[in-house]
Amino acid sequence: MRLIMESVNKTYRDKRGQETHVLQDIDLSVEKDEFLAIVGPSGCGKSTLLGMVAGLVPLTSGSISFALEDGQSPHAPRIGVVFQEHALFPWRTVQRNVEYGLEVQRIGKRERTERARTLIDMVGLSGFEQRYPHQLSGGMRQRVGIARALAIEPDLLLMDEPLSALDAQVRQLLQEELLRIWEQHRQKTLYVTHNIAEAVAMADRIVVLSRRPGRIRAVLTVEIPRAERSLPDRQTQVAEYQRQIWDLIRSDAEQALYEDVRG
């Protein structure tokens, strides 16, 4: 199932009746097996867009839909979301957190346990099944979040700055891990980040958003094979992508520095 966004608009109105046009005329699709990153300065509406795709934020106008493949019977698309602040349920153990989405889908206990085990193993947390989130480090919590999202075998994986709350070293490690996991699943992914390097390291295509209103400023296809992006002789090329994106974002990011102080 392709994900299709058509003329998506989002306007917020604050208490004083002031309207903010957060997203304007977003037309975008995520193809099968594609890792699409959305990059933009703070306040560009990238998380809002992801929220709308997940059905957690209402659209002001436009539509977001999944296109069925030939012969595919329509079913509610399963969407796995990895949140920035992990959003694990503190009262559930690792095991039960990972099982959560399966529980909602009313999948039997035995299958649930089994699938959760596999995922927990894949994110390298075997042995921690019975721990509670507060007993884990930030990086481990985020792994649980990733396992929870993948457990439902989503039609679309959404990640909202999944690495931003982590320290630089853990972030680097988890990024590599995320890529390894992604290569195994090759699930169509929408990845929101403000970190340009992260986007260039991971994505097939990168959508650069402007801010206020958030509009698609550019769509770049990263032509370097993913596996080679960390190789030394590819670094000039990687840096070139990064520079290109930064040039697109810079002035907006500078504005955001001042405008974010509101009320």
Partner 1 sequence: MRTSGDRNMDTSNRDASPANRVIVRYRLRFLDRRAPAWVGVIGVASILAIWQMASSFGFVSEADLPGPASIFQAAVSMVQNGSLLLNVEASLIRIVAGYFIGAISGILIGLWFGFSRITERVGMPIANALYPIPKLAIIPLLILWIGAGEMPKILVVAAEVFFPVLFNTYSGVRNTDPLLIRAAASFGAQPLTLIRQVILPASLPTIFAGLRIGAGLSLLVLVAAEMIGAQHGIGAMILTYSSLMQTPNLMVGVILLSILGLAITRGLGQIERWLLPWKE
62 makes contact with partner 1 (CB under 8 A): yes
Judged by CB under 8 A, the chain residues 23 through 52 that form the site for partner 1 are 52
Q: Which is nearer to partner 1, 65 or 230 (CB)?
A: 65
- Please name the helix (run of DSSP H) or strand (run of DSSP E) that holds residue 249, with its range, or none: helix 235-259
> Which of 42, 60, 172, 255 is in the footprint of partner 1 by CB under 8 A?
60
- The site map against partner 1 for 68-107 (x = CB under 8 A) is x-----xxxx------------------------------
Distance of closest approach, residue 53 Cβ to partner 1, in angstroms: 6
> Which of 37, 46, 66, 211 is in the footprint of partner 1 by CB under 8 A?
66
How many residues would you count in the chain? Answer: 263
Q: Which is nearer to partner 1, 52 or 249 (CB)?
A: 52
Hey, what are 201's tokens?
Answer: 């390291």
What is the number of alpha carbons within 13 Å of residue 123 lying toward its C-beta?
27
Hey, what are 123's tokens?
Answer: 């994110």
Cis peptide before 77 (omega within 30 of 0): no
Instruction: Decide: helix, strand or coil at residue 105.
Output: coil
- Please name the helix (run of DSSP H) or strand (run of DSSP E) that holds residue 1, with its range, or none: none
Applying CB under 8 A, which part among 54-62, 86-94, 132-140, 206-214 lies near partner 1? Answer: 54-62
> Which of 15, 58, 91, 258 is in the footprint of partner 1 by CB under 8 A?
58
Applying CB under 8 A, which part among 6-14, 90-98, 146-154, 226-234 lies near partner 1? Answer: 6-14
Distance of closest approach, residue 152 Cβ to partner 1, in angstroms: 15
d(CA 212, CA 205): 23
17 makes contact with partner 1 (CB under 8 A): no
d(CA 231, CA 236): 10
d(CA 149, CA 251): 35
109 makes contact with partner 1 (CB under 8 A): no
d(CA 222, CA 226): 9
Residue 184 Cα distances to 72, 116, 193, 262, angstroms? 23, 16, 22, 43
> Which of 59, 149, 178, 209 is in the footprint of partner 1 by CB under 8 A?
59
Q: Interface with partner 1 by CB under 8 A: which residues?
A: 1, 4, 7, 11-13, 19, 52-68, 74-77
